[in-house]
């Protein structure tokens, strides 16, 4: 087994979970993270605290405050370790479709050009390595909003007669002819690049299209980090704003540990240019209204929120992931955490 694992966005939610997990599997874990999250969402969203925590807790972790758009600085890292690099997990991103509209060029260069830099350096220096990319279900745009929905008391749901979607949305949904948001477009560009490096160059590349990825290490903000920010507001009493769809919009939520466990299974038996939808599926999903009720139950406080009739551009009415493809390829993988588990963990972390 190769001795080096490189993780971008290493102080973020998925990146830090990956550091904790893979530090046990590799001699050295190289983290690349320049805390752009505070640029995107303000000082309250800074992940500097997590960088310090990782540096203290994992002796074989080495942090580099490098921008993934800076190919020269990245090359210094890749050229140093070359074939010793066995795994590259690319979790760095500009993650908000609202923020992307403010600075489209920054969004695109981080998400698309940054990914190209990492793919090309992997191909040049360590083509045998497995390259894992955290993509997004926003690559499908708002196509899912064309599904036949019925309005229930606290959520939207797909009509029961459409049994194809009884397990959720799979990888066959079209990525074309829909409104993606600029964020969705930049991530789709990166998504296709990762697929192409796998199919064209024969590299081991995997695309993991997540929706709401979450966990206790999430530095949630209003524009990104649904459950984390929701619980922050529940604890602090800060008013929360629901944007559109009567608060009945549905999201499945995947704990970062469960996602990183998927990475581990893929790394042990990689494929060329494979794509997976990843999320909580039918086991772990909720509407906004249902999530608020759970927050009230956990905190014992009445949740203060307002409602805006205007929904976010390109936002999904309903998204539940069909995990069948990944489970067929990796039958030993199991989902560990439910929505309730996740919210309780976030509460225990943030109440302090």
What are the phi and psi torsion angles at 5 (to 5°)?
A: -120, 130
Residues above pLDDT 90, as percent of the chain = 82
For 118-143, write each residue's pLDDT tens digit.
999 999 999 999 999 999 999 999 99
SS3 string, 221-253, reads ECCECHHHHHHHHHHHCCCEEEECHHHCCEEEE
- Alpha-carbon distances of 27 from 59, 60, 85, 311, rounded to whole Å: 10, 7, 10, 47
**Dihedral over Cα of 223, 213, 144, 309: its sign:** negative
Cα 303 to Cα 33, 46, 72, 149, 238: the distances in Å are: 34, 25, 48, 27, 9
pLDDT greater than 70 at residue 116: yes
Kindly tell me if the per-residue pLDDT of 220 is higher than 80. no
Instruction: Report in angstroms the alpha-carbon separations of 248 from 149, 196, 288, 316, 343.
Output: 11, 37, 6, 11, 18
Between 241 and 89, name the one with better pLDDT: 89
**Given a cut of 80, is residue 1 above it in pLDDT?**
no
Number of Cβ within 10 Å of residue 303's Cβ equals 17
CA dist 261 and 266 (Å) reads 9
**pTM, rounded to two decimals:** 0.94
**Closest C-alpha to 342, from 177, 231, 188, 190:** 231
Average pLDDT value over all residues in the chain: 94
Which CATH number goes with the domain that contains 203? 3.40.50.720
> Which residues form the domain of 272?
4-350
Residue 146: pLDDT band with limits 50, 70, 90 = very high
Number of domains making up the chain: 1
């Amino acid at each position: 087994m190769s001795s080096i694992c490189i993780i971008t966005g290493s102080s973020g939610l998925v990146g830090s979970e990956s550091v904790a997990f893979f530090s046990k599997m590799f001699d050295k874990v190289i983290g690349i993270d320049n805390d752009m999250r505070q640029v995107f969402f303000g000082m309250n969203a800074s992940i500097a605290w997590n960088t310090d925590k990782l540096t203290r807790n994992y002796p074989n972790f080495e942090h580099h405050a490098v921008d993934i758009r800076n190919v020269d600085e990245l090359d210094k890292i890749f050229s140093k370790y070359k074939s010793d690099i066995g795994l590259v997990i690319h979790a760095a991103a500009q993650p908000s479709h609202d923020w992307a509209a403010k600075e489209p060029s920054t969004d695109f260069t981080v998400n698309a050009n940054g990914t190209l830099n990492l793919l090309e350096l992997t191909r040049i220096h360590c083509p045998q390595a497995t390259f894992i990319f955290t993509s997004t279900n926003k690559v499908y745009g708002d196509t899912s909003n064309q599904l036949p929905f019925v309005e229930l008391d606290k959520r939207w749901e797909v009509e029961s007669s459409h049994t194809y979607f009884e397990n959720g949305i799979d990888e066959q949904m079209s990525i074309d002819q829909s409104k993606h948001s600029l964020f969705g477009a930049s991530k789709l560009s990166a998504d296709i690049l990762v697929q192409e490096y796998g199919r064209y160059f024969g590299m081991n590349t995997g695309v993991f299209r997540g929706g709401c990825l979450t966990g206790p290490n999430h530095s949630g903000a209003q524009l990104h980090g649904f459950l984390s920010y929701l619980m922050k507001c529940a604890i602090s009493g800060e008013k929360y704003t629901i944007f559109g769809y009567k608060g009945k919009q549905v999201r499945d939520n995947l704990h970062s540990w469960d996602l990183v466990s998927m990475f581990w299974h893929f790394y042990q038996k990689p494929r060329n240019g494979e794509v997976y939808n990843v999320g909580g599926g039918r086991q772990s999903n909720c509407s906004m209204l249902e999530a608020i009720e759970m927050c009230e139950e956990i905190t014992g406080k009445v949740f203060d929120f307002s409602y805006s009739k205007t929904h976010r551009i390109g936002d999904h009415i309903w998204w539940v992931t069909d995990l069948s493809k990944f489970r067929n390829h990796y039958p030993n993988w199991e989902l560990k955490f439910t929505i309730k588990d996740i919210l309780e963990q976030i509460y225990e972390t943030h109440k302090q």
